[in-house]
Amino acid sequence: MFKESKILITGATGSWGNELVTQLLDMKPNKIVIYSRSELNQVNMQRKFNNDKLKFIIGDIRDYNALKQASQGIDYIFHLAALKHVPICEEQPYEAIKTNILGIENIIKAAIENNVKKVIDVSTDKAVDPINVYGMTKAIGEKLIIHANTITDTTKFVCIRAGNVLGTNGSVVPYFINQVKKFNQITITDLEMTRYFLTLKQAIELLFKGITNSVGGEIFVMKMPGYKISDIASIIKDEFGDENCKLKEIGKRAGEKLHEVLISRYEAENSYIYDNDYYVILPQIYIPGLKEYYNKLNLKPLNKEEYSSKDYLLGIKEAREMLVKGGFISEKT
| C-alpha to C-alpha distance for 110 and 222, rounded to whole angstroms | 28
Beta bridge partner(s), residue 308: 261
| C-alpha to C-alpha distance for 155 and 28, rounded to whole angstroms | 22
**Which residues carry out catalysis?**
126
> What are residue 297's phi and psi, to 5 degrees?
-75, -20
First-to-last alpha carbon distance for the chain, in angstroms, is: 42
